[in-house]
Amino acid sequence: MLKIKNLHASIAGKEILKGIDLTVNAGEVHAVMGPNGSGKSTLAQVLAGHPAYEVTDGSVTYDGRDLLAMDPEVRAQEGIFLAFQYPVEIPGVTNAYFLRSAYNEIRKAKGLEELDPLEFLDLMEEKMKLVDMDPAMLNRSVNTGFSGGEKKRNEILQMAVLGPRLAILDETDSGLDIDALRIVAEGVNKLRSPDNATILVTHYQRLLNHIVPDEVHVLAAGRIVRSGGKELALALEEKGYEQFAAGAGAGAAA
Amino acid sequence: MPASPPPHAISRDAYRADFERLRASELRTEPEWLGRFRAEAMESFETLGFPTMKDEDWHFTSVAPIADRVFHPAGVASISPEQVSKLGLPTLGGTSLVFVNGYFSPELSSPGNERATAGVTVQSLAAALRDAPDIQSAIGLAATSTSSAFTALNAAFFRDGALIRIAANATAAPIHIVFIAANSEGKVSHPRNIIIAGEQSQATIVESYVAADDGTYFTNAVTEVILGDGARVSHYKLQSEGTSAFHVGTIQARQPRSSYYESFSFATGADLSRTNVYTVLEGDAAECVLNGLYLADGTQHMDHQTYVEHVAPNCPSHELYKGILDGRSHGVFNGKVYVHPEAQKTDGKQSNNNLLLSDHARVDTKPQLEIFADDVKCTHGATVGRLDETALFYLRSRGLSNTVARKLLTYAFAADVLERLSLAPLRDALEARVLERFTG
């Protein structure tokens, strides 16, 4: 589904990604782990099309098509979803209005009919149970006055409603307590299918106890320096990232 | 007296001539105290003259388009209920008092020209002056004639407006005062409204200014709001004057102990407009909320000035004014707060946020805080900027196009203020209107 080849990206003239190679197939869950500053979030945002980043080399194909040539909204309409590390507050726009607009844009892109507010409400009620959210939040402004945990659950709710083929979760576990983490992980797991794929960007191993990855990649200084199975995450937990700090050594499956 | 003619001499002479003419004719039968009140006001106007940009309170706004023109007093005009229904006025489900060119129109008002139910009296000020001169003490109570040329002119020339009296402990259903300009090219009207809310009373008042045609006219309005102890008044002003018109409106409130005054100013009309919202917190724990939203386009010039005077201790004052400016429009905001030495435990918050949608739109914003008490919490902030890029990306990453995302964020910027309106039908009407303006 997704093929990243030799991806280089910079922000404000500073190079963050220094040659990423990664392939993700349908039905797979990949974890991307690394120390702070390694470029994990940058990778997530570049895949989503954040305008602040400049791709200076390499390619990314999605279903064989050039992803980097697509505007952020086109990527979303093609089924890519980024769960933000710091979800944005948008006072003045209700969660209901925002989600319905997004949902209908994606339906339009697929040539399907849009849903009216009542039909959409039915859909919403079903999805909200997935992340244990109170339907009253639909009338509140997007993420406004939400706790960190509520914001992250709202990201997963959006994911549940929009049904992406490739979900990229950017440090979704950061700042979450055990209960919130459990709810988020259960939500993600329920959405897993053989037709979609997930990239989990995370610093800590604990999320991977709940969402078990097929492959784990270690990102250090802008490059993937080791890839392996889920045992790699446990090894990192025990020994830390320092062994990879130099960024040397090609990854061999553990 | 200076050797050269004072600025705006032609219009001042015209106002004096019209004043004398009115006194000799239509105002001839007024009580003596009113005649004196008007004469003193006229003298104040002539002494003060129209403000120039050297006046600190008018630093960013030139009143030349008003001051350099001769506006004659508007005459009575009539329009049909059908015409009124097309003016986009919100339906609030209470009493409405309609004035055309500043003259009360019983046919267009509802449910009648006088309503005295359970302690609530809503009537035409002109009728009240004729029938019950005991309101003599109420006129000019809050908005003193000498404060500015515009309030002085209003005191000299006002013909009518709404007199609203809420008895102690009474609660009034929403009251809508509507001012419609019709066939008023080259004319001026000076509506004067007086709202008196008794102790522990509650009232919601909406003042709308609209135009039935597109002439160049001038509305010079004054509204006085006198609250009793513990009274709660929500007061909304909607300025949707004609695109070639001029509007200057002054609201002056006085708040005793434990009173609560919520003011909201919504401005979309007029070529040049200025709204002043002033309140004095004279009693312990009096509270005010002053919010506003101005939407400007083309070459409109919209100016807002607020003034909160903290005289008594323990008073909170919260202000949020937001502006969205497009085209070559110009917005001005000046938020003045004065905290007397005795006003300890003042909690003053003031924010003015402006969104510029075009390269040629501009805003001048000036917070002005003078604090003479030492145990207070006062914050102020002013921003001028464009749409938040992170928020834009967030919306686009969910499939909304760049254009739709920009429109939605622009609406959201305005909706933030509208959400705070306590009168639900008005909030819904304005939200729909603003949504249409930015996403239609």
ipTM of the complex model = 0.92
Cβ distance B399 to A98 less than 8 Å, yes or no, reads: no
- What average pLDDT does the segment A29-33 reach? 94
Order of strands, edge to edge, in the sheet holding A14-24? A14-24, A2-11, A53-62, A65-66
Residues of A in contact with B415 (CB under 8 A): 91-93
The Cα of A166 is separated from the nearest Cα of chain B by a number of Å equal to 13
Residue B3 pLDDT greater than 80, yes or no:
no
- Residue B374 burial class via C-beta count within 10 angstroms: exposed 0-12, middle 13-18, buried 19 and up: exposed
Beta partners for residue B233, in sequence order: B203, B261
Residues of A in contact with B416 (CB under 8 A): 91-92, 141
Tell if the CB–CB gap between B397 and A72 is shorter than 8 Å: yes
B435 to chain A, any CB pair closer than 8 A? The answer is: no
Q: Residue A180 — very low, low, confident or very high, per pLDDT cuts 50/70/90?
A: confident
The three-state secondary structure class of B387 is: coil
Start-to-end CA span in chain A (Å)? 24
| Of A92, A106, A109, Cβ closest to residue B415 | A92
- The mean per-residue pLDDT over the stretch A151-171 comes to 92
CB atoms A162 and B399 under 8 Å: yes
For B342, other C-beta atoms within 10 Å of its C-beta total 12
HEC-encoded secondary structure of B164-231: EEECCCCECCCEEEEEEECCCCCEEECCEEEEEECCCCEEEEEEEEEECCCCCCEEEEEEEEEECCCC
Q: Do A82 and B409 touch (CB under 8 A)?
A: no
Beta carbons within 10 angstroms of residue B134's beta carbon: 8
B436 touches chain A (CB under 8 A): no
Q: In a mutagenesis test of the B interface, which of A101, A151, A155, A169 is the best target, namely the one with the most B β-carbons within 10 Å? A: A101
- Residues B276-310 have pLDDT tens digits of 999 999 999 999 999 999 999 999 999 999 999 99
- Are B287 and B261 spatial neighbours (Cβ–Cβ below 8 Å)? yes
Q: Is the pLDDT of residue A50 over 90?
A: yes
Cβ–Cβ below 8 Å for A92 and B416? yes
Q: Is A79 on the interface with B (CB under 8 A)?
A: no
Longest dimension (CA), chain A: 56
- Phi first, then psi, for residue B56 (nearest 5°) are -55, -35
Q: B391 — contact with chain A (CB < 8 Å)?
A: yes
- Report the gap between the CA of A208 and the closest CA in chain B (Å): 25
Percent of chain A scored above 90 by pLDDT? 51
Nearest to A93 among B399, B402, B408 (CB): B408
Can you give the pLDDT at residue A181?
85
Question: Which of B394, B405, B414 lies nearest to residue A92, judging by beta carbons?
Answer: B414
For A:16-55, CB contacts with B below 8 A are 48-52
Nearest to B390 among A76, A77, A88 (CB): A88
| Closest approach of A238 to chain B, Cα-based (Å) | 36
The answer to whether B33 contacts chain A (CB < 8 Å) is no
Kindly report the length of chain B. 440
Contact B412 A88 (CB under 8 A): no
Does A105 sit within 8 Å of B401, measured CB to CB?
A: yes
* pLDDT over 80 at B141, yes or no: no
Q: Which residues of A touch B411 (CB under 8 A)?
A: 92-93
**Owner of token pair 């008794």:** B198
Q: In which element (H, E) is residue B333 found?
A: strand B330-339
pLDDT of residue B212: 94
pLDDT the model gives residue A27: 93
Rg, C-alpha atoms of chain B:
21
Are residues B346 and B436 in contact, defined by beta-carbon separation less than 8 angstroms? no
Asked if pLDDT for residue B115 goes beyond 50, the answer is no
Q: Which residue has the higher pLDDT, B182 or A36?
A: B182
Q: In the structure encoding, which two tokens stand for residue A175, read together?
A: 């700042």
Q: Given a cut of 80, is residue B139 above it in pLDDT?
A: no
Using the beta-carbon criterion (under 8 Å), do A141 and B419 form an inter-chain contact? yes
The torsion angle over the Cα atoms of residues A203, A207, A212 and A213, rounded to 10 degrees, is -20
A183 pLDDT tier (thresholds 50, 70, 90): confident
**Residue B175 confidence (pLDDT):** 95
Tell me: pLDDT of B71 over 60.
yes
Residue B154's pLDDT is what?
96
Please check the confidence at residue B114 and state whether its pLDDT lies above 60: no
What is the mean pLDDT of the segment spanning A106-133?
86
Number of helices (H), then strands (E), in chain A = 8, 12
Q: Mean per-residue pLDDT for A13-36?
A: 93
Check if B432 contacts A (Cβ < 8 Å): no
Q: Quick check: A161 contacting B, CB < 8 Å?
A: no
Judge: B399–A109 Cβ closer than 8 Å, yes or no. yes
What does the pLDDT read at residue A130?
A: 79
The model's confidence at residue B133, banded by pLDDT at 50, 70 and 90, is: low
Whether residue B416 and residue A91 make contact (CB cut-off 8 A), yes or no, is yes
Q: What is the pLDDT of residue A248?
A: 43
- Asked if B411 contacts B382 with a C-beta cutoff of 8 angstroms, the reply is no
- Output the six-digit token pair for B59: 């630093």
Summarised one tens digit per residue, pLDDT across range B332-391 is 999 999 999 999 999 999 999 999 999 999 999 999 999 999 999 999 999 999 998 899
Residue B392 has pLDDT above 50, yes or no: yes
pLDDT at B1: 52
> Measured between CB atoms, does A64 come within 8 Å of chain B?
no
pTM exceeds 0.95, yes or no: no
Which among B401, B411, B418 is the nearest to A73, CB-wise?
A: B401
Task: Tell me the torsion sign for CA atoms A82, A87, A88, A90.
Answer: positive
Cα-Cα-Cα-Cα torsion B66, B68, B72, B78, nearest 10 degrees, comes to: -40
For position A253, what pLDDT does the model report? Answer: 39
Ranges A205-214, B31-40, B207-216, most confident:
B207-216
Shortest CB distance from B396 goes to which of A52, A72, A92?
Answer: A72
- At B13-56, the pLDDT tens digits run 999 999 999 999 989 988 888 899 999 999 999 999 999 999 99
Specify the pLDDT at position B250. Answer: 96
Indicate the length of chain A as a whole number.
254
Contacts of B131 (CB under 8 A, 6+ apart): none
Give the per-residue pLDDT at B147.
83
Helix or strand run (H / E) with residue A48: helix A40-48
Q: Do residues B178 and B148 make contact, with C-beta atoms less than 8 angstroms apart? A: no
Q: List CB contacts (< 8 A) between A98 and chain B.
A: 395, 398, 408
Q: Give the single-character DSSP code of B402.
A: H
